[in-house]
Structure 1
Amino acid sequence: MNYIAELNAFDRWLETNYLPALSELLWRKMVALFNRCGWAEWISVDNQRLMGLIQVKREATFIDYRNKLVEAGLIEYQKGKKGSPNRYKLISLSEGKNNNTFTSEVQTEVNPVVQSVVNPVVQSVVNPVVNPVVKTVDINKLNQTKQNKTNDTPYSPPKGDAPEPVPRETVQYKKIADYWNSVCTELPKVQALSDNRKKAVRARVKEHGEETVLRVIALVKQSDFLCGRTGNNWNASFDWVMKPANFVKVLEGNYVNKAPAPPSPPGTARRLDDLTDNPFLKIAMEEEMKNE
């Protein structure tokens, strides 16, 4: 059966036939159940479920509306045994006697020919493979099976609550470490990139950019003080340079080599203030210069 075809055929049937509104609603709900059950020939469903579908509280009232469908030839009904739900069979309107005359005539002429040719071939291929189709479906068992499948399905968070993807690492740690080793040859080499070192490098790159980090390393190489060339028995390490305060000091030129004072031009008198701050030494030097 076809769900849409049955609904359309039912609407055409109502043009010339009468049903109470709740009997009409009950038929539509039962068609939906048959559709969910794969159009089984018979389905089993209890009165309470059908009463809930059409919002009827008294069972006697429900039975009256159901009997209207039976009397109209729209459904067949079999009372269930004790402890078992009733069974129902849907009478197709789109495929049965209520269909239009043209369709009925075509089926009358064509069906016998098609069945005589096709059915033997199809049955010989399908029957050995396919198990017999179960004609009766218990709607209560079907719902229970769906519920079990739902319970077995692993929980997946809604799209709005899904965790954000971890951004791909873009800091080129090895490039920066290799540049330090190749430029600052007088200083301790970077032998390993520990998590703490990566954290410090990542912070400096985020704050100043990769090019600035490489420029600071070049400034370290140019600094006599940082490279230990001033005889102070100390030199800078990679970790020391990557500390935020030290990094900024190097970047701002605090450790740039100081240019030597230019020599005095020939014949220029030396200022005593440039030679010493000792007042007694100044007096002695002034006397010496007078005697020259």
Structure 2
Amino acid sequence: MQRDLLDGVVAFTTVARRRSFTTAAADLGVTPAAVSHAVKQLEARLGVALFARTTREVGLTEAGRRYLQGAQPAVEAMQAATASARSLGEGPAGTVRVTTSRLALRMVLAPVITDFCRAYPDVRLEIVVDDAQISIIEEGFDVGVRMGEMIAPDMVAVRVSHPFQFCVVGSPALLARHGRPGHPRDLKGYPCLNVLQTTRLNNYRWEFEEDGREFEVAVDSPISVNDFDFLLKGALDGLGLTYQPEPLAMPHVLTGRLERVLDPYLAGPTAWHLYYPSRLGASAALRALVEFMRGRLRAPGRA
């Protein structure tokens, strides 16, 4: 394969992933003009336009989408071979772009990031917090952190937390004033603190299970916010019941500041996962992050 053709394919797939010539150039360590020249040469050889360019964005043409489907696996294989060869002489290095929800940052990444950065000083993490469900390929991320049931089936998913449930908790004072709900239907009219789903701008419907049947309950909430720590503080202050991941709620349950209710109706467990498009195209830096997180999960006493 000619060198200029190979460079053009790499430039094309990088621009297609990043949706930007400038960002692609930064990834490849060359100038935007060099990337543009390589892509134009590739388009000239193919006799078709691969990108529809405007002043604001770069999008693939139909020919570009078809070419990407065939070219991307070949480029990933080449990159994997290069990374494998280099790894024999040097440790993981480079940038890993991570998309994570606010809750995943709190529960999964924040507890381990310092140790990871010390273990791999040549790896740079770019972490973007976004509760929306996004395409990591289209948005240019290397890896995401979400709950397992939210991950597309064509992704490689690696569990990085022990299974946990969401539970309903409230302060003893609140339960003394309003009584203990005996069934999720008793939540209607009961003071609750709810999660605001920012992608839909509506309140989260609490999930329960009874006799093997899953169901949801809409609760009344004087405050809705997309931050579980804020909701937890409201519950500790006696403002209402809140629907919380067990790992966040249990320390306060064990001290008696919060009490659990409706445990017989809790929905089944979930778990956090790292996910990414392909094992073949994973960089040494990404593999280091995945293995580090898996190692932490296997360590005694880790939740």
> One fold, TM greater than 0.5?
no
Which is richer in helix? 1
Which bin holds the TM-score, normalised by the shorter protein? under 0.3
Q: TM-score, normalised by structure 2?
A: 0.23
Larger Rg: 1
Which is richer in strand? 2
Q: TM-score, normalised by structure 1?
A: 0.23
Task: Identify the structure with bigger relative contact order (alpha carbons < 8 Å, sequence gap 6+).
Answer: 2
